Chain A
């Protein structure tokens, strides 16, 4: 078609092809999942349709001569401080289609990032720092209900001390990281294999997400948390007992208050078997759990799951960070949960309405600080562990989260990035060019689970090393000593109110 509307022609990216370097190997044509590149055999030339490019960089990464560069389209509308190009582009798209704009991954909008306003402490002169290469340093983390008091009695016969207090079931993590809940269906089996194998190697946990656990992955049970969401996909007694913990998913940071929808086209035979739904049928997770309308209802589900698993597995309840999150968390703790998982508004998704992703929820940093403070004030902080996710980008964000009161960190976007994601934010199309969020067999092959697992292990090892260095610098020899220790944090450039909410002092004090 010669005519293109403003919307179609005002594409986001331009492909810059250096013809002097192009060897006509056509790898770009084969690798583009969006049919951007084409080979003209008559002219022996490559051509491209810029309007189809999503900026994933697959072609430029695989081009063997570096002939391709993806640039953002500098062509712009008349400058307008109110109407950005993105606003205009979105409005045109909606005028064209009349539909809700879909989006994926976490909130990319320009909201404050509190991690960037928090600084860590280090020892000088009056207290010794520790070298983690020479002295032991512990990152091991236990998640679950901790007793109010620990009673120790002496065994009369042997004279040895033993624990009289009955401990609740605990999850043992060698690193305070969990590969967070991204369902089988949204992600393909290769991605799940990579996460499961990496969790086993690292001695940590991978969360199945709401799509059930594929039969090939039951062998990783000791490193799995199984999730129960509002759609109840793949939930059976066997599934609940397959892992070491259970998570009830109430909300997700990217789309609080919104359910899920896996399009029928993505439901192939394997996903159908795992989710226990017919092939090709839409997998719809309702926005609410239809059996949870109160804290009392939540308590019923928590105990139903505990009953089904013989009280051997801790139960987590995952909520999105929203207003009144502290009060909700208190209710969850009192409902009998062992772990509360809080997903901040930067948490990712495979698909969500853009207006929800970009405007609903609150930052995880503030939610975490509020929840930790509230549970301490009520004297019930020991009853639950807090896992947080949504916006942890590196080891320093993670260690700041620990200092704000988190027990462990969910890695979602970081996991995908380690697997090769380039944050093009088009997971909802099912055409992931990196083979992660696609079930198309031609594309899914691009993620080799062996390489994926190695890269995840490397990432967590790297962050672990860095965290040990930071802890050592502060004179601490265990992550446990930093947990909730906000005295080790100082704020720069934050308002009194924000510092008050975060419970940190300004730098210099």
Chain B
């Protein structure tokens, strides 16, 4: 399956992947509205991790594992892996126990504290390639076929 790969050497720490993700998961899909005018702002599914003042940086995101630990840990059956291999959370079923958050070895599941729901990458079902990949100005995120590692 196609996955998002992060290229550490090319990541410039601009965090535009996060802006792209929040915008894509908003109602309007417009950055100004998503950040300033919509009542609820979504949480970014990718996180830029930085070390040494940004000398080392990379955008982390869900690996859509072949055998997802989050899925196994989920107590309500909210996390499912579909036929295409995409691991998604059904927010209706999520009870906000954070078991998935603790189980994920990549730290790729976020907590939406306001809604008390877990939050994770859905590979942008409405797009050809995920919003974070398209938002990256330096090709540090690549969307291609490959394994989870």
Contacts and interface: CB of A to CB of B under 8 A. Distances in A.
A65 B138 contact: no
A121 to B, nearest CB: 43
Contact of B15 (A21, A25, A450, A451): A25
Interface stretch (B30-38, B67-75, B86-94, B99-107): B30-38
B10 interface: yes
Contacts of B135: 64
A62 B16 contact: yes
Interface in A438-467: 441-442, 445-446, 448, 450-451
Give the size range of B's interface with the partner: 20 to 34
B10 A30 contact: no
A31 interface: yes
B13 A64 contact: no
A389 B20 CA distance: 42
Given A27-B15, A30-B13, A448 B35 contact: no
Nearest to A24: B35
Given A23-B35, A445-B9, A451 B139 contact: yes
Contacts, number: 58
B77 interface: no
Contacts of B55: 441-442
A451 B35 contact: no
B19 A25 contact: yes
Interface in B126-146: 135, 137-140
B39 interface: no
A441 B56 CA distance: 9
Contacts of A23: 19, 31-32, 34-36
Interface residues of A, number: 20
Q: For the complex, would chain B's binding face be called helix, strand, loop or mixed by DSSP majority?
A: helix
A26 interface: yes
A448 B14 contact: no
Interface in B43-57: 53-55, 57
B11 interface: yes
Given A65-B32, A445-B12, A27 B19 contact: yes
Contacts of A448: 10, 138-140
A30 B11 CA distance: 13
A446 B14 CA distance: 10
Contacts of B137: 62
Contact of B53 (A25, A31, A442, A450): A442
Contacts of A62: 14, 16, 137
Interface of A: 20-21, 23-27, 30-31, 62, 64-65, 435, 441-442, 445-446, 448, 450-451
5 nearest interchain CB pairs? A23-B35, A448-B10, A441-B55, A446-B12, A448-B138
Given A30-B13, A442-B54, A445-B10, 13 more contacts: A20-B32, A21-B32, A23-B34, A25-B15, A25-B19, A25-B35, A27-B16, A30-B14, A62-B14, A442-B13, A445-B57, A446-B138, A450-B10
Interface of B: 9-16, 18-20, 23, 31-32, 34-36, 53-55, 57, 135, 137-140
28 contacts: A23-B19, A23-B36, A24-B35, A27-B14, A27-B16, A27-B19, A30-B14, A30-B15, A30-B54, A31-B12, A62-B16, A62-B137, A64-B16, A64-B23, A64-B135, A65-B31, A435-B12, A441-B55, A442-B54, A442-B55, A445-B11, A445-B12, A445-B57, A446-B12, A448-B138, A448-B140, A451-B138, A451-B139
